[in-house]
Amino acid sequence: MSRQTLNYWKQPLAEVPAEVWTTPRLEALVLAECGLTSVPAAIGRLGDLRMLDLGHNAIAELPDAIGDLAGLADFLYVHDNRLTRLPDAIGRLTRLQYLNVSDNPLAALPDAIGDMASLVELRADNDTLSALPDAIGALSQLRYLTLRDNRLRTLPPAMARLTALRQIDLRGNPLDGWPGVLADVPRLEKLDVRWVPLPEAPPWIADLRSRGCLVYT
């Protein structure tokens, strides 16, 4: 039996359609811009799901059952919702490679984010993050990290452990100074700190540029 895709993009829905729960081998589910305000715990039963798009809705909370999606590997979009927190259960998504939690009133990321061992790209733009958990340093596969327009003043020392990190976007954050921890990120190729009131660049920025890293100020 072939794998299935269900796409309800921009369809006004009061709830997740019943056929979602009866479609065998459902691999991709798009529920973007549907006006949804909640996600039922039954979502955790979709064991074959690899891709889930819940973006551009009015969802205020994700159920713990989101962590039961053991097959979720390609992407999870929950951007542009009303999430004030992410459940610790999200850390059980150990195969997930792409996570977008942008445009939510998120004040923090859970420590469980560090358990998402396969994460390659994390987007958390235009949230209300004032700090990052030390656990983010455990994301050994992370290559792309976008944190534009948050409330970050510093970065945790644990970020020096992000040995795969290639690009980081810190635009529009009220940083207290140049985030020196990035001097120890060995594969950094792009650092974007535009729209950030920073003093004169320290010597380690010249070192980054000398090894080919693009620094946008």
**Interval 85-119: pLDDT, tens:** 999 999 999 999 999 999 999 999 999 999 999 99
Name which of 89, 124, 125 is nearest 110 in CA terms: 89
Residue 192: name the closest of 162, 169, 210, 211 by CA.
Answer: 169
Does residue 11 carry a pLDDT above 90? yes
Would you say residue 2 has pLDDT above 90?
A: no
What lies within 8 Å, CB to CB, of 110 at 6+ separation is 85, 86, 87, 88, 90, 91, 133
Closest CA to 70 of 39, 47, 36, 37: 47
User: For the segment 134-191, what is each residue's pLDDT rounded down to a tens digit?
Assistant: 999 999 999 999 999 999 999 999 999 999 999 999 999 999 999 999 999 999 999 9
Say what the pTM is.
0.97
Could you give the domains of the chain?
4-128 (3.80.10.10)
pLDDT > 70? residue 15: yes
Whole-number Cα distances in Å, 47 to 27, 28, 66: 9, 11, 11
pLDDT score at 99: 98
